[in-house]
């Protein structure tokens, strides 16, 4: 069997539209014969570098109000419940470190979807280590060992390197998709196009 | 014949994605039996109020680089050529004043599409009164009389009122669409959904 093309899916746990993409990407990619590489990272340091100390949806209230309404509509369209966690954005540091450990294990995507379901499907906190631990336990994983590994120095350094990789490749928001030929797509709205591109199709003129 | 539902299309001449929407909206709306109300306005004062003195695509270079690549792909998908005018963003004041005069005449949408074609289809300037005049002349309109009306005090005041209307209704970017029941959609990516909503359909769960 030929090797399947790979699409990198860069996501941030504090990102609402990353939630929609995370819950949809496996089905969309599978149908196109594309493999997904899950890439958790932190958007905070990238935002901070351009002078933002919180989500743009908080910095620009009109945009924030619109985003929550749009999430309601998009959630309805995709059959996903949307609830706002408090505070928003959630501090995603611990969950992201765990997801990075999950990158080396089969449970990675399952954990990621479980976090998003708690955070934006149920509107509950994912901030505290205890919240992340509860998610791991519910998945039948060795929560204590995983959290220990997640919070150890090598994994912290790895997350810093991953986030720097994102920045250096031009990532400015989430979700962001990269095809193997370096094409970048931003936003849940571009998921289908990113997968199509990864599968080898190119946009053609309708004219 | 029953009255057709109306969709307001708020656009800014300096906005790249407004170009894509302007060239597509008539066909998409016609197919759904929806009438378009063209609403030219200035985004500059709204950006200025949140501390931005130019396009966010210039303020945030990574986002700007991505936008131009995305415009290339989206243009190809819709059969529209995309060329970058210099400088970007173009000062859209004169063209917008003329489009506002056109709001009372049948030539309004034709003028708007002609401006966008020059600016983003051909990458040429629309900044100077002479550039706008040339577009009007090419359409066989009384350019001198229209420009005089456009630059007169009542029309300047009208544009300020329109732009304040946009801000007060929550507009933070362009293009923005409003349905008659007050639903707001932002971006060329939401054109189809805005038209569908205007026609009375609601998003339903795929689950």
What is the C-alpha separation between B62 and B73, in angstroms, rounded?
17
Task: Assign B1 a pLDDT band (cuts: 50, 70, 90).
Answer: low
B207·A80 Cβ contact <8 A: yes
pLDDT score of B96 more than 70: yes
- B73 — contact with chain A (CB < 8 Å)? yes
Q: Residue A207: its pLDDT value, please? A: 44
Pair of tokens at residue B166: 């946009």
A21: three-class secondary structure by DSSP: helix
Query: Cβ contact (<8 Å) for A206 and B77?
Result: yes
Residue B136, preceding peptide bond in cis (omega within 30° of 0): no
Q: Does A28 touch chain B (CB under 8 A)?
A: no
CB B13 within 8 A of CB B115: yes
Sign of CA dihedral B65, A162, A178, A45: negative
Quick check: B73 and A170 CB within 8 A?
no
Point out the residue among B66, B79, B187 whose CB comes nearest to the CB of A184.
B66
* pLDDT, tens digit, 9 for 90 and up, residues A15-46: 999 999 999 999 999 999 999 999 999 999 99
Structure tokens at B40: 């030219």
A68 touches chain B (CB under 8 A): no
User: CB contact, 8 Å: B51 with chain A?
Assistant: no
- Sequence-ordered strand ranges (E) for chain A: 6-11, 35-40, 176-179, 184-186
Minimal Cβ distance to A66: which of B69, B184, B203: B184
Closest residue, chain B, to A206 (C-alpha): B79
**Rounded to an integer, what distance in angstroms lies between the CA atom of residue A35 and that of residue B1?**
52
Instruction: State the pTM of this model.
Output: 0.94
pLDDT for the residue numbered A29: 98
Q: Residue A21, class by beta-carbon neighbours within 10 Å (0-12 exposed, 13-18 middle, 19+ buried)?
A: buried
Indicate the SS3 state at residue A51: coil
Q: Tell me if the bond preceding A62 is cis, omega within 30° of 0.
A: no
pLDDT of res. B205: 60
Angle value at C-alpha A205, between A201 and A207, nearest 5 degrees? 155
B94 to chain A, minimum CA–CA distance in Å?
27
CATH number for the domain running over B6-198: 3.40.30.10
Nearest-Cα distance to chain B for A63, in Å, is: 6
Residue B115 pLDDT greater than 80, yes or no: yes
Domain boundaries, given as residue ranges, for chain A: 6-198
Instruction: Write out the two tokens for A151.
Output: 């919070």
pLDDT digits (tens, 9 = 90+) for B156-179: 999 999 999 999 999 999 999 999
Q: Measured between CA atoms, how close is B13 to chain A, in angstroms?
A: 20
The token pair that represents B88 in the structure block: 């970007």
């Amino acid at each position: 069997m030929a090797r399947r093309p790979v699409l990198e899916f860069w996501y941030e746990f504090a990102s609402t539209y990353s939630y929609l993409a995370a819950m949809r990407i496996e089905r969309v990619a599978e149908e196109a014969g594309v493999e997904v590489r899950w890439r958790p990272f932190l958007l905070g340091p990238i935002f901070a570098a351009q002078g933002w100390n919180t989500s743009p949806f908080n910095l620009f209230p009109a945009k924030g109000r619109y985003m929550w309404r749009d999430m309601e509509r998009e959630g309805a369209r995709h059959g996903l419940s949307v609830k706002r966690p408090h505070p928003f954005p959630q501090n995603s540091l611990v969950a992201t470190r765990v997801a990075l450990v999950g990158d080396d294990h089969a449970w990675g995507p399952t954990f990621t979807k479980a976090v998003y379901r708690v955070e934006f499907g149920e509107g509950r906190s994912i901030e505290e280590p205890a919240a992340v631990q509860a998610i791991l336990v519910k998945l039948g994983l060795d929560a204590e060992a995983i959290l220990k590994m997640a919070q150890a120095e090598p994994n912290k350094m790895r997350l810093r390197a991953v986030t720097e990789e994102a920045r250096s490749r031009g990532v400015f928001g989430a979700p962001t998709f990269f095809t193997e030929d370096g094409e970048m797509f931003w936003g849940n709205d571009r998921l289908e196009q990113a997968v199509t591109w990864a599968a080898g199709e190119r946009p053609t003129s309708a004219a």
